[in-house]
A and B are shown apart, each in its own frame.
Chain A
Amino acid sequence: MPKIVKPPTTRWKPEGRMSEGNFARMSRRELLKMAPVVILGAFAIPGLREPLLKKGLAVSDLASALLFRRGHLAPTFAESELTPFQKFPINGYDVDDPGVIFENWTLTVGGAVEKPGEYTLAEVQALPRMRQNTRHVCVEGWDVIGRFGGAKLSDFLTMVGADTSARYITVACADDYYETLDMATALHPQTLLCYEMYDQPLTREHGAPLRLSIPTKVGYKQAKYLTDLKVTNVVQKVGYWEDQGYSEFYGL
């Protein structure tokens, strides 16, 4: 069997002799050993491609979940580093303003909670207010640094008596958008039920009256115009974008 000899040898020295036929046979054997490369051809087969890519993304999501550290804070920034409010992009999947009637608005809370029901904005705002300058990263690649204010989602979950051993928080929105959050991220100290941006009440385009602000997640997880919040172990639909192929976890 050929083996690597330890360098340095200055000049070629014959170490073995072999007939042309034997050399050809040995070369063929070595070529056949490259067969594992062909396995990647599975990605060229239409019926296999999608399931394989779903698996691959799931592996990345698993790695993301394992890399998530509950106590690790996202970087925060000075006032001078903020993106001006006018230059904070407005991203909606459908309409910029789904026409929420603020007077009638409540957040409907359900699922694995001790106190389900309708919660008013005043009740959310009665919780300790957090203000933080954090980076908002879009899946598309752009990023801005914004100032967000609101209640910690973890405080709200405590208030409603949520079973935090459940796996997920799901939210529904006034524009039919929907999202799912893993519990670890929901309990992260920087995850906010956000009602303020740049120290002003949330504008309609940015998700008034209540949105999620999650500096440890990519933008599409940070749903706007919240109407429903549920604590659950079972998720049928993950999120508007996730159900079209985006990463389900996408933690930053």
Chain B
Amino acid sequence: MGGAVVEIIRTKDEETETVARAVYEHPLLVRLCHWLNAIALFVMVGSGLQIFRAFPSFGAKIPQKDLLNWPKAFAIGGWLGGALEWHLTFVWIYIATGLIYLGYQLFSGNYRQVLFTHRDLPGVWPMVKHYFFFGPKPPLHEAYNPLQKHAYTSAIALGVLSVLTGIAVWKPVQFSWLAWLMGGFHLARLWHFLVMWAILAFVLGHLVMVVLHSWNNFVSMLTGWKKDPEY
């Protein structure tokens, strides 16, 4: 699976040799949405933590027991009002890039590259053995291995959940049914917070894998083209 493929050739002394091959893995819209969404996510998390600092608890206001004292240096906005400005501005970029991405993936059929399905199940255990127990590397026949697909599919689901829980916190009256589904405003706020940490866990794993894998892999999210793919 994957995109268009080219052979990169070098001609010397009238002899042509293939020096590399490349595959177009990430269409432009996907790349744009990826980076815009990444920046928006960064701002959403930073400002969200500053908002959390205003009441760093999920219990009662009286008596208030703080969950943790998140340092101001690792938050965006300076104060609650500033953070809300950032949060309620970048949320539109976050949602728009998410929706454009999802729409494009579905419309183009490109979702098959990412979506984890039952067909990926048999490949999960060999991949786990390789990643965590020094097992042999299973051969790759498409852009993403089963664990990668699982991670990306989960991340997309978490993105949707972050928006839904956020709507319940922002509009617990107009979307009272949504807040009700989450156990009310009070718990919706907790789910919103937990979904953020789950997304951060994905981001951490994602960044580790980017560092561990080849430079070509990183470049492909910028130019779309992956040189010397494994498959």
Binding site for B on A (CB under 8 A): 2-20, 23, 26-28, 30-31, 33-34, 36-37, 40, 43, 52-57, 59-60, 64, 67-69, 72, 74-75, 83, 86-89, 135, 137-144, 215-216, 241, 244-247, 251-252
User: B60 contacts A59, CB within 8 Å?
Assistant: no
Q: Spot the interface stretch: B51-59, B123-131, B203-211.
A: B51-59
**B1-44 with Cβ < 8 A to chain A:** 1-11, 18-19, 21-24, 27-28, 31-32, 35-36, 39, 43
* Chain A residues with CB below 8 A from B19, complex form: 20
Residue of B57, B64, B82, B222 near A31 (CB, 8 A) is B222
CA–CA, A215 and B93, complex, Å: 29
Given A27-B223, A140-B54, A140-B80, A72-B174 contact (CB < 8 Å): yes
CA–CA, A18 and B225, complex, Å: 13
Residue of A6, A13, A14, A31 near B109 (CB, 8 A) is A6
User: B1 contacts A7, CB within 8 Å?
Assistant: yes
CA–CA, A2 and B222, complex, Å: 15
User: A4 contacts B24, CB within 8 Å?
Assistant: yes
* Chain B residues with CB below 8 A from A55, complex form: 89
Given A87-B60, A252-B173, A56-B90 contact (CB < 8 Å): yes
* Chain A residues with CB below 8 A from B113, complex form: 7
Residue of A nearest to B27 (CB): A4
User: B80 contacts A139, CB within 8 Å?
Assistant: yes
Chain B residues touching A, range: 35 or more
Residue of A18, A37, A64, A251 near B35 (CB, 8 A) is A37
CA–CA, A12 and B6, complex, Å: 10
User: B39 contacts A60, CB within 8 Å?
Assistant: no
A239: min CB distance to chain B, Å: 12
Contacts A5-B3, A53-B89 known; list 8 others, CB within 8 Å: A2-B24, A7-B142, A8-B112, A37-B35, A56-B90, A72-B174, A83-B60, A143-B185
* Chain B residues with CB below 8 A from A9, complex form: 1-2
User: B5 contacts A37, CB within 8 Å?
Assistant: no
CA–CA, A142 and B21, complex, Å: 57
CA–CA, A142 and B56, complex, Å: 9
Given A30-B223, A40-B93, A4-B173 contact (CB < 8 Å): no
Residue of B51, B84, B92, B185 near A59 (CB, 8 A) is B92
CA–CA, A135 and B171, complex, Å: 13
Given A138-B55, A140-B80, A13-B5 contact (CB < 8 Å): yes
User: A56 contacts B6, CB within 8 Å?
Assistant: no
User: A36 contacts B32, CB within 8 Å?
Assistant: yes
CA–CA, A216 and B225, complex, Å: 51
B120: min CB distance to chain A, Å: 13
**B132-160 with Cβ < 8 A to chain A:** 141-142
Asked if B62 lies at the interface with its beta carbon under 8 angstroms from chain A, I say yes
User: B89 contacts A141, CB within 8 Å?
Assistant: no
15 contacts between A and B (CB under 8 A): A4-B110, A6-B109, A7-B113, A12-B2, A12-B21, A55-B89, A57-B84, A57-B89, A68-B174, A88-B62, A89-B61, A138-B55, A245-B85, A251-B171, A252-B173
Asked if B218 lies at the interface with its beta carbon under 8 angstroms from chain A, I say no
Residue of B nearest to A67 (CB): B174
* Chain B residues with CB below 8 A from A54, complex form: 85
* Chain A residues with CB below 8 A from B85, complex form: 53-54, 56-57, 245
User: A144 contacts B61, CB within 8 Å?
Assistant: yes
